[in-house]
Amino acid sequence: MSGALRTGLIWGAIGVFLSLVGMVEAFAARQIIVGVISLGHLLLLLIALGSGSRAARQGKVWGSAALLRGLVAGVTTGLVASAFIAVGSAANLRAMFVSATPELFAFLSFGRGVAGIPLVVAATATAGAIGAAAALLPAVIARPLAVGVTSALAVGLFQELLQIILQEGVIRTAIRRLIFTEDGLPPRGALIVFAVAAGTSALLRGRRGGVRAWTAHRPPRQRRAISLVAVALAIVVALLLPVAGGLFVSQVLVLVGLYILMGLGLNLEVGFAGLLDLGFVAFFAIGAYTVGLLTSTGEHAIAHLSFWATVPIALVVSLIAGILFGMPILRIRGDYLAIATLGFGEIIRLLFLSDALRPWFGGSQGVLGIPKPTLGGFEFAGPQQLYYLTLIASAFIAFVAFRLRDSRLGRAWMALREDEDVAEAMGINLVNVKLLAYGIGGAFAGMGGAIFAVMLGSIFPHSFSLLISINVLALIIVGGIGSLPGVIVGSLFLVGLPELLREFTDFRFLVYGAVLILMMQLRPEGLWPAAAQQRELHEERVDIPLVPPVEAAPGEAPAGVEGGGS
């Protein structure tokens, strides 16, 4: 039982912490289900649920004993919250904690102050018991329930966005009328979403493996056709996104795209070649400044080229920058490499910021008047148009990264990552291979910078802070280091989600930190790990012998080796 008590205390402390940093109150304003629950209360509810569920799982007991543990943990969490409410109502904590406002305590105690404490404890106790019960449910029931609840909450969370998407069209309007009211998502709509999602999940359960087995047993030609259809569908969805999502969604997606471009570049350095780089934003800045200076109509313009002419130049400039960047740090390994690259990133930013170079780079005033790209009369004026530019650039860069990964150079990078000395003994020229990693990785980020420049129309040194490098590193870790789809998943998750949930922006780095710690604890290989870690599971299907299975008999030597032997 002391385990359950401790779990309750820890989760209670998490709740108090989130309240004190202002997260609960900031989330209180957003209604998830109208008149039922706000995001703030949802957060508190999730904490109580998590406390109960965790306590039940920890105990290695079943049935009523586990429920009891959940109940105890829930009550403990509630008591911690109550103590917090009592202290907060009696004394003014605001001298130390700005967010410990009377409104916060009113919110925590359901508006009843100290008198609300029994209610708080009862609520957390119930939630704890429910959490424990959920942990005990067999997967057959738990999965559809979880899918249903998550879907309903997701619809509630993104309701503004969904309402925008569902504004036009007969079917879309009908769906909107069915689920939403003027005020938001009513309980009725939430129930519908829950029922549909849970039902679908229950129906699909057990069939998912079936679908996979069905495709696996199709003849190769049909299988290829099926995957082509899937790819075509994905392309259609990608093309329709900005039309359906509107301006705001497009803006977020362009940002996600820029991070995908940078992520692919850094993934090539860190994920493939194992070269840690904390100054990666430098290449993004170089790409942006190259395009800015060459296309600008402002005072710092060097030339007035078109965007399309400057993109290859930006790629080459950032490639060369990467090679120059790599040269002094060729012999540095490990932690020292991290520090050296960190310094490089800052040097580039400070060069653009410096007064000495102001005549060329504009100093802190930046480069202004960068025109939008046009193509045969079509202007990439806003996010909805720039989205397509980003999409094509990302697809192109992802394709290049994919091809490089499976090439001789890609294998050399991975060998370098695994064991630098042995890689060299395998005949790999470390200098070339490292410089190419920095150069090509830099060029990918330069591509992102080029689009960034025309997206904003003006660039300033302060846009290229260390935080961008850290964001990019975080997203490839969360997505799965070395994994190409992982970069996309990581960008959507770490860049897209926080933008869509405006309440999160203040707490972005708190959430980042928590997510990174959780990832390292629960899923260190990332959300979408690199293929090598999964490949073994179905190796028999992949490794088809090229010649009939005849064991190498004496006298039969590998043909390739024969030639080079004597």
Partner 1 sequence: MAILTSRRLTKRFGGLVAISALDLEVEERSIHSIIGPNGAGKTTFFNCVTGFYRAEEGTITFQEEPLDGLTPDRITHMGIARTYQNIRLFATMTCLENILVGMHPHLRASWIGAIVGSPGTRREEAAAHEEARRLLRFVELRGKGDYLAKNLPYGEQRRLEIARALASRPALLLLDEPTAGMNPRESLDTMAFIRRLRDELNITILLIEHNMRVVMGISERITVLDFGEKIAEGSADQVRSDPRVIEAYLGTQRGAAEIGA
Report the interface residues with partner 1, using CB under 8 A: 400, 403-404, 406-412, 414-415, 418-419, 421-430, 436, 440, 532-533, 535-536, 539-540, 542-543, 545-546, 549, 551-552, 554-555, 557-566
Output the smallest distance, CB 283 to partner 1, in A: 18
CA dihedral 524→528→532→536, nearest 10 degrees, is 90
Which is closer to partner 1, CB of 92 or CB of 407? Answer: 407
Spatial separation of the C-alpha atoms in residues 566 and 558, rounded to whole Å: 14
Which is closer to partner 1, CB of 282 or CB of 435? Answer: 435
Question: For residue 131, what are its two tokens?
Answer: 């959490």
Which is closer to partner 1, CB of 309 or CB of 426? Answer: 426
Output the smallest distance, CB 547 to partner 1, in A: 8
Output the smallest distance, CB 518 to partner 1, in A: 23
**Closest residue by Cα to residue 84 from 123, 55, 117:** 117
Q: What are the φ/ψ torsions at residue 367 (nearest 5 degrees)?
A: -110, 125
Buried b (16+ CB within 10 A) or exposed e, 167-185: eeeeeeeeebeebbeeebb
Which is closer to partner 1, CB of 335 or CB of 543? Answer: 543
**Residues constituting the chain:** 566
Q: With 0-12 CB in 10 A as exposed, 13-18 as middle and 19+ as buried, what is 288?
A: buried
Which is closer to partner 1, CB of 90 or CB of 559? Answer: 559
Spatial separation of the C-alpha atoms in residues 477 and 267, rounded to whole Å: 9
Which is closer to partner 1, CB of 62 or CB of 402? Answer: 402
Which is closer to partner 1, CB of 234 or CB of 422? Answer: 422
Output the smallest distance, CB 243 to partner 1, in A: 32
**Closest residue by Cα to residue 389 from 378, 399, 403, 400:** 378
135 contact partners, CB below 8 Å, separation of at least 6: 52, 53, 56, 57, 66, 70
Which is closer to partner 1, CB of 355 or CB of 536? Answer: 536
- Number of other CB atoms surrounding residue 291 within 10 Å: 30
Beta partners for 38? 31
DSSP state letter for 372: P
Output the smallest distance, CB 559 to partner 1, in A: 7
The distance of Cα 482 from the centroid of its chain, to the nearest Å, equals 14
CA dihedral 292→298→304→306, nearest 10 degrees, is 50
Output the smallest distance, CB 137 to partner 1, in A: 35
Spatial separation of the C-alpha atoms in residues 505 and 511, rounded to whole Å: 9
492 contact partners, CB below 8 Å, separation of at least 6: 256
Question: For residue 372, what are its two tokens?
Answer: 């939008």
Output the smallest distance, CB 434 to partner 1, in A: 12
Output the smallest distance, CB 540 to partner 1, in A: 7
Which is closer to partner 1, CB of 243 or CB of 531? Answer: 531
Check if the beta carbon of residue 270 is closer than 8 Å to that of residue 473.
yes
Output the smallest distance, CB 535 to partner 1, in A: 5
Output the smallest distance, CB 542 to partner 1, in A: 5
Residue type, position 3, single letter: G
Give the CA angle between residues 288, 441, 315 to the nearest 5°: 45
Output the smallest distance, CB 416 to partner 1, in A: 9
**Residue that has been written with the tokens 């040269």 in this structure:** 327
Check if the beta carbon of residue 437 is closer than 8 Å to that of residue 325.
no
**Residue that has been written with the tokens 């920058």 in this structure:** 321
Output the smallest distance, CB 407 to partner 1, in A: 3
Output the smallest distance, CB 411 to partner 1, in A: 5
Spatial separation of the C-alpha atoms in residues 371 and 453, rounded to whole Å: 9
User: What number of H helices and E strands is found in the chain?
Assistant: 27, 4
Provide DSSP, 222-278: HHHHHHHHHHHHHHHHHHHHHHHHHHHHHHHHHHHHHHHHHHHHHIIIIIIS----S
Spatial separation of the C-alpha atoms in residues 5 and 236, rounded to whole Å: 52
Which is closer to partner 1, CB of 122 or CB of 231? Answer: 231
Output the smallest distance, CB 223 to partner 1, in A: 19
**Closest residue by Cα to residue 476 from 500, 465, 492:** 492
